[in-house]
């Protein structure tokens, strides 16, 4: 089952907050559901088990995850369709699969344990491997970004996406080191960061935040999340449910702000009637995020930072536009690769 986090602890593949997330989806026979971050299929299995007539569209940008899901597709008896795509395009995927509207969507945001455990993917410094970090096979790798980014852009990326207070020192160390030799492996980058950030005993490895930042930037994870939330708003039918599990404050902040803005209703004045934009698009089902209990954390330490938020779609029409105001200000990857 799927597992998302950045820690180096090896644990079984378990869908974090899986039962709670699927319970919020209120799965029913004949319903159409999207697992936008298929991974190892943990949430999909729970949805298929919850109702014998439920159907799932599973999406993953990682080709290897889609390939590993072939057995589950076969075992589902036609109830699971698995698609290699970005979850930001979940409404388009649903239409291509013949579902103009769906009854529920679950998103598990972050990197999977399977990706962390593959040295050749370059997500973790637990094993030495190529500095890649791409969830799909397209676009610049982390090594490309480290080689091309200016010191200022590197510092911004590491500070904003890794929440690393020593980001300037880390960026300076990277720029200095790359003049001596290209930074192409996870071990070398981790050593460079460790030379710039002195960790205290019992603290996380000094490179953890920098690796997180580069991974999020390379895969545009926050932009993908914001776009996926808008796509969910478009494709969920009235009464459809959205459940999002996140593992970092950056992700949870976007989900929280989005749902708060979409749940607002502001009355018009006596001079101006209510307008469509002021209608609530969602009813929030979680006033506070659901977190893992002590038993789940004991079984799976990676669940300790997970937060689940859920909401139900109203009949109000979806809004157009984007959620750029929810994203941290950062250079585009194109600008970074140009060294600007």
Tell me: the pLDDT tens digits for 53-102? 999 999 999 888 899 999 999 999 999 999 999 999 999 999 999 999 99
Range scoring the smallest mean pLDDT among 26-35, 41-50, 105-114, 134-143 = 105-114
The answer to the question of residue 247 being in a domain is yes
Same-domain pairing of 69 and 202: no
Is residue 227 domain-shared with residue 212, that is, in the same domain?
no
User: Predicted confidence band at 202 (pLDDT cuts at 50, 70, 90)?
Assistant: confident
pLDDT score at 268? 45
Q: Are residues 212 and 232 in the same domain?
A: no
Tokens of 165: 């207070």
Q: What is the dihedral of CA 256, 36, 127, 190, to 10 degrees?
A: -40
Residue 55's SS3 state is strand
CATH of the domain at 60: 3.40.50.150
The band of 135, judged by pLDDT with boundaries at 50, 70 and 90, is confident
Q: Do 255 and 204 fall within a single domain?
A: no
Tokens 């050593």 locate to: 191
pLDDT at residue 8, rounded to an integer: 36
The residue that leads in pLDDT, 45 or 12, is 45
**pLDDT above 70 coverage of the chain, percent:** 88
Among 11-25, 59-73, 167-181, 208-222, where is mean pLDDT lowest? 11-25
Has residue 22 got a pLDDT over 90?
A: yes
| 6-10, 83-87, 131-135, 145-149: least confidently modelled range | 6-10
- Confidence band (pLDDT; 50, 70, 90) for 124? confident
Q: What's the pLDDT score for residue 11? A: 35
Q: Compute the average pLDDT of residues 21-38.
A: 96
Q: What is the pLDDT of residue 269?
A: 44
User: What is the per-residue pLDDT for 61?
Assistant: 92
Q: Do residues 248 and 168 share a domain?
A: no
**211 lies in some domain:** yes
202 and 284 part of one domain: no
Measure the CA–CA gap between 144 and 123, rounded to whole angstroms. 14
In a domain, 61, yes or no: yes
Is residue 178 within 8 Å of residue 147, measured between CB atoms? yes
Rounded to 5°, angle at Cα 337 from 331 and 340: 55
pLDDT value for 114: 57
The mean pLDDT of the chain is 88
**Three-state DSSP state, 185:** strand
Domain membership flag for residue 339: no
pTM: 0.89
d(CA 262, CA 265): 8
User: Does residue 205 share a domain with residue 188?
Assistant: yes
Q: Kindly report, residue by residue over 266-325, the tens digit of the pLDDT.
A: 554 444 454 445 789 999 999 999 999 999 999 888 889 999 999 999 999 999 888 889
Residue 120 is predicted with a pLDDT of 60
pLDDT band at 5 (very low <50, low <70, confident <90, very high): very low
The answer to whether the Cα torsion of 200, 203, 207, 213 is positive or negative is negative
Same domain, residue pair 208 and 226: no
| DSSP classification of residue 274 | -
Task: Tell whether the model's pLDDT for residue 42 goes beyond 80.
Answer: yes
Contact 66, 82 (CB under 8 A): yes
- CATH number of the domain encompassing residue 153: 1.10.150.170
**Residue 6 confidence (pLDDT) above 70:** no
Rounded-to-integer distance, Cα 340 and Cα 335, Å: 5
Q: What average pLDDT does range 244-257 have in this prediction?
A: 95
| Domain total in the chain | 2
Asked, for residue 153, whether it belongs to a domain, the answer is yes
Residue 134 shares a structural domain with residue 103: no
Residue 63: count of CB within 10 angstroms of its CB = 12
pLDDT at 249: 92
In a domain, 234, yes or no: yes
| Same domain for 96 and 152 | no
- Looking at the predicted structure, is the pLDDT value of residue 45 above 50? yes
Residues 92 and 241 in one domain: yes
Q: Looking at 109-113, 186-190, 249-253, which range is the least confident one?
A: 109-113
pLDDT of 13 over the 80 cut: no
**Residue where a domain stops, chosen among 203, 220, 237:** 220
* Residue 29, domain extent: 18-113+221-326
Q: Please provide residue 307's backbone torsions phi and psi, each rounded to the nearest 5 degrees.
A: -135, 130
Same domain for 104 and 252, yes or no, is: yes
Higher pLDDT, 113 or 269: 113
Cβ pair 17, 27 in contact under 8 A = no
Tell me what percent of the residues of the chain surpass a pLDDT of 90: 75
């Amino acid at each position: 089952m799927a597992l998302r986090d950045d820690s180096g602890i090896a644990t079984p593949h378990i869908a974090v907050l899986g039962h709670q997330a699927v319970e919020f989806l209120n799965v029913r026979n004949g319903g159409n559901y999207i697992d936008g971050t298929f991974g190892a299929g943990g949430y999909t299995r729970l949805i298929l088990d919850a109702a014998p007539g439920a159907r799932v569209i599973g999406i993953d940008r990682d080709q290897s995850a889609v390939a590993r899901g072939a057995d589950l597709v076969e075992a589902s008896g036609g109830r699971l369709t698995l698609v290699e795509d970005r979850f930001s395009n979940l409404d388009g995927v649903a239409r291509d699969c013949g579902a103009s509207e769906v009854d529920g969507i679950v998103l598990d945001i972050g990197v999977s344990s399977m990706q962390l455990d593959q040295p050749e993917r370059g997500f973790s410094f637990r094993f030495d491997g190529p500095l890649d970090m791409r969830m799909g096979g397209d676009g610049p790798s982390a090594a490309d970004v480290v080689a091309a980014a200016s010191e200022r852009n590197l510092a911004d990326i590491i500070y904003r996406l890794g929440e690393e207070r020593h980001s300037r020192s880390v960026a300076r160390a990277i720029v200095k080191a790359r003049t001596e030799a290209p930074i192409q492996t996870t071990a070398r980058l981790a050593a460079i960061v460790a030379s710039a950030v002195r960790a205290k005993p019992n603290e996380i490895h000094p490179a953890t935040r920098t690796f997180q930042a580069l991974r999020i930037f390379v895969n545009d994870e926050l932009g993908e999340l914001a776009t996926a939330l808008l796509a969910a708003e478009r494709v969920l039918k009235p009464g459809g449910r959205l459940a999002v599990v996140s593992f970092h404050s950056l992700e949870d902040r976007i989900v929280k702000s989005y749902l708060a803005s979409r749940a607002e209703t502001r009355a018009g004045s006596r001079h101006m009637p209510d307008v469509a934009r002021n209608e609530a698009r969602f009813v929030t089902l979680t006033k506070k995020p659901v977190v893992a209990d002590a038993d789940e954390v004991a079984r799976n330490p990676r669940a300790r930072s997970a937060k689940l938020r859920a909401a139900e779609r109203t009949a109000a029409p979806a809004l157009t536009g984007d959620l750029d105001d929810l994203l941290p200000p950062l250079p585009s990857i194109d600008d970074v690769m140009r060294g600007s």
